Structure 1
């Protein structure tokens, strides 16, 4: 899946698998954090609208 980003350092398959797993974990963490940031923006926008409507 991420062959372009991870190549075996010493030619071992286990090393390649470990790098692929790490790369996937980092990608998933980044995706999860981005979704948290986006949901935080949506919540703060809804909060501002509610404050405006309530006066």
Structure 2
């Protein structure tokens, strides 16, 4: 692979990892501070798949 392609893929992976880490930190913080659950992580309209 060319160096530019590797750099782009690495950049995308880093951005995805940052967002996943930020979401995990927010969920942990809300849990630790006793915040009420106001949103679901399940997409709307897929309730029938959970049965």
Unaligned runs of 5+ residues in structure 1 are 1-10, 48-55
Q: Give the structure-2-normalised TM-score.
A: 0.62
Distance 1:15 1:28 in 2: 20
Number of residue-to-residue matches in the alignment: 36
Q: Rg: which structure is higher?
A: 1
Q: Give the structure-1-normalised TM-score.
A: 0.58
Moved over 6 A (4+): none
Unaligned runs of 5+ residues in structure 2 are 37-51
CA-based RMSD: 1.8
Instruction: Name whichever structure is richer in helix by fraction.
Output: 1
